Amino acid sequence: MKTALISVSDKSGLVEFAKGLEKLGWQLVSTGGTFKTLSEAGIKARQVSDLTGFPEILDGRVKTLHPIIHAGILALRKNPEHVKKLEELKIQAIDLVVVNLYPFKETIARPGVKIEEAIENIDIGGPTMIRAAAKNFEGCSAIVDPKDYKKVLEELNAKNNELSEETRKLLCAKAFQHTASYDSLISNYLHERFNPSELFPQDFSVTFSKVQECRYGENPHQKGALYKEAFQSGNSLLNFAQLHGKELSFNNFYDLNSAWNLCKEFSQPCAVIVKHTNPCGCAIAESISEAFAKAYGTDPLSAFGSIIALNRQVDEKTAGQIGSFFNEAIIAPSYSEKALEILKGKKNLRLIELNESSKASPLREFDFKKVDSGLLVQEKDSLQVSEKDLKFVSERKPSENEIQDLLFGWKIVKHVKSNAIVVVKNGQLLGTGAGQMSRVDSVKIAIEKAGDKAKGGVLASDAFFPFRDSLDLAFKAGITALIETGGSVKDNEVIQAANELKQALVFTGARHFKH
């Protein structure tokens, strides 16, 4: 008789699966809450204590940590000495371990959870059984995901109560992935609670789970996939649903993330248009349709084939504007019925709805950059600058309208590849200079993109100006105010230039490099 040991916190699909095993003649062994669920469903099962002859003790902390259990799991079926030893000790071989773990993740996600409760939700016996079964995959299979119940039952029915070598190997790998993810979550949580002064631990592991595969990677010859962290912040791209359009590519996701991260900087209705992670349009206004019209007016040529982010519901008017040219994808909190009707007329246009959540991650949020054979890790750039943080260093002080535009430009430049320059006016991005090796070249590009509209506008730089040449170019274009980090050895020269040119110059004391 085949034996399955079942001990699960997530009981979805449990009864149906256990009934399927029972019908196939399996003996079922279970613990505490799982035994109760099975019994209430009329499924015959033995308790673990019946096998071990030893009761659950220490409030359930010890129930499966017993030689009779682990010998039954770990014994090699092809090893005569192992089989003989089981017979001598009257130990029942265990052929299937069905275990998912204490809800540690769900526990720490609750606001105000106490460390004592988190500790009690660290599973010990479960991971031990899973690892044992996975190690001995040739004789005992570990099932950690309820989604696998149906496939396992179908195969057992089709193959005389046996699982194929391929299935056993797949379950083995999945089991170790499951316990590794669980341990990683625990280690990060406890490190933050017990050693908060050390931001970066000596051994750093993070856990991600696959959301979906991409159409391809950065290029069609590369494969790609999207993974999510254990916890997503409320405004994360990962809280999405695709309502329409073809499958998203690696680049689509990356651009959507860039567009949304900029869009959510603003509380006013905002529209962002992105190409290759850089904004080629951004505007705020009284309504979302007005904001989009202004954003599109920034650079209609570059907007072709773009990604669009909106921080308000897409209404019929805005949908009509968006539908007037080719774009790849739209991300927004919601869409009106009329807007969906219009936009779904474009077969391949991807419509992404962002399901915002107020939940905050219980773990620190980091920014990762992959390097060959390693990983660069840093805190996220969440620094905000307001009017009270500004240092007015020129003789001419900016007007209130200029100050608002300077702050608007400063929020945008944070999301542009360095060296980054933007020209803005009246809540509208006019020109972007991104990713140039020379800052003055970025200034030239931004001014060229802005054209005649630059006159009366302001300019934002993601870092300090090392020379006065950028201010001279801005003056020729009619730009009246500039915002930058400050802190250059040439600050006095730059301030002097601003005074000569009657420009308002503002320092933030903060830098926003984005490599």
| Beta bridge partners of residue 229, listed in sequence order | 208
What's the number of CA atoms in the CB half-sphere (13 Å) around residue 479? Answer: 34
186 lies in the same domain as 64: yes
CATH no. for residue 477? 3.40.140.20
Q: Is residue 207 in a domain?
A: no
What's the number of CA atoms in the CB half-sphere (13 Å) around residue 346? Answer: 20
Task: Kindly report whether the peptide bond that precedes residue 278 is cis, defined as omega within 30 degrees of 0.
Answer: no
Q: Is residue 219 in a domain?
A: no
Task: Kindly report whether the peptide bond that precedes residue 419 is cis, defined as omega within 30 degrees of 0.
Answer: yes
CATH no. for residue 32? 3.40.50.1380
Q: Where is the domain boundary, 194, 227, 252?
A: 194
24 lies in the same domain as 114: yes
Indicate the angle between helix axes 149-158 and 14-23, nearest 10 degrees. Answer: 10
111 lies in the same domain as 155: yes
d(CA 371, CA 352): 30
Q: Would you call 225 helix, strand, or coil by DSSP? A: strand
Q: How many Å separate Cα 428 from the centre of its chain? A: 29
Q: Where is the domain boundary, 165, 194, 223?
A: 194
Q: Is residue 348 in a domain?
A: yes
Q: Where is the domain boundary, 130, 164, 194?
A: 194
Q: Is residue 270 in a domain?
A: yes
Cβ–Cβ < 8 Å for 351, 330 = yes
392 lies in the same domain as 280: no
Low-confidence ranges of the chain (pLDDT < 50): none
Q: Is residue 438 in a domain?
A: yes
Tokens of 81: 């000495």
349 lies in the same domain as 395: no
321 lies in the same domain as 461: no
In the prediction, which pLDDT does 122 show? Answer: 93
259 lies in the same domain as 131: no
61 lies in the same domain as 179: yes
d(CA 131, CA 242): 37
Q: Is residue 380 in a domain?
A: no
In the prediction, which pLDDT does 287 show? Answer: 97
Count of the separate structural domains present in the chain: 3
393 lies in the same domain as 466: yes
48 lies in the same domain as 144: yes
In the prediction, which pLDDT does 213 show? Answer: 94
Those residues with Cβ within 8 angstroms of residue 194's Cβ, 6 or more apart along the chain or in another chain = none
Q: Is residue 265 in a domain?
A: yes
Q: Is residue 419 in a domain?
A: yes
Phi, psi of 401 (to 5 degrees): -65, -40
- Residue numbers annotated as active site: 135, 276
Q: Which helix (H) or strand (E) holds 368?
A: strand 366-371
Please give the residue range of the domain that contains residue 482: 388-507
In the prediction, which pLDDT does 55 show? Answer: 82
Tokens of 273: 């248009």
d(CA 508, CA 388): 10
394 lies in the same domain as 332: no
167 lies in the same domain as 40: yes
